[in-house]
Amino acid sequence: MIKLIRKSLGSLIVFFNWLFKPKQIKRTHDQQNQINEQVKGLSLYQFHGCPFCVKVRRQIHRLNLPISLRDVNQHQHYRTELLNQGGKVKVPCLRIEKDNNVQWLYESSDINQFLEKQFR
Ligand SMILES: N[C@@H](CCC(=O)N[C@@H](CS)C(=O)NCC(=O)O)C(=O)O
């Protein structure tokens, strides 16, 4: 029963998110290409109906960032990666790979702040 309520609420949030998508920032072609390169080391571990993940996906959409999304409910290996390397199965979590270093950033507000700082 609880599972059903959570699923329905998740779908509702996803629907309203779709209905009221934030406006995407526009960049020149060259600027966008540069950003596309910069985000190559980022991936977001998340799942579709999670409200905190929707919050981060909105930020990603607004900042126009082609960050790869890894659904931990649909792909067991992403869940295992998150647990073994990040430390816990809590989403959203941003995997940040830079200069052969990997960092796992939890908490939607911290992720959004990081993205804002890096890409706005
Ligand atoms: N304060 C966290 C809350 C994240 C959260 O509660 N995520 C849920 C899914 S919607 C989760 O992963 N729960 C599993 C757990 O807490 O172990 C954030 O803002 O990111």
Q: List, for residues 63-109, the tens digit of each pLDDT value.
A: 999 999 999 999 999 999 999 999 999 999 999 999 999 999 999 99
Q: Which atom of ligand 1 is nearest to the CA of 89?
A: 17
Pairing of strands 42-46, 101-106: unpaired
Which residue range is the domain that position 52 belongs to? 2-119
User: Does residue 19 carry a pLDDT above 90?
Assistant: no
CA distance 64 to 85: 27
Share of the chain above pLDDT 70, in %: 100
pLDDT band at residue 10, thresholds of 50, 70 and 90?
confident
Q: What are the tokens at 75?
A: 């792909």
Check which CATH number belongs to the domain holding 37 and give it: 3.40.30.10
- Count of domains for the chain: 1
Nearest CA to ligand 1 atom 13: 90
- One-letter amino acid for residue 35 of the chain: I
Pocket test for ligand 1, best of 52, 112, 115 (most atoms within 8 A of CB): 52
Going from the C-alpha of 34 to that of each of 5, 53, 58, the distances in angstroms are 42, 25, 21
Mean pLDDT of 19-38: 94
User: Does residue 20 carry a pLDDT above 90?
Assistant: no
DSSP structure class, residue 35: H
Report the separation in Å between the CA atom of 51 and the middle of ligand 1, taken as the mean of its atom positions: 9
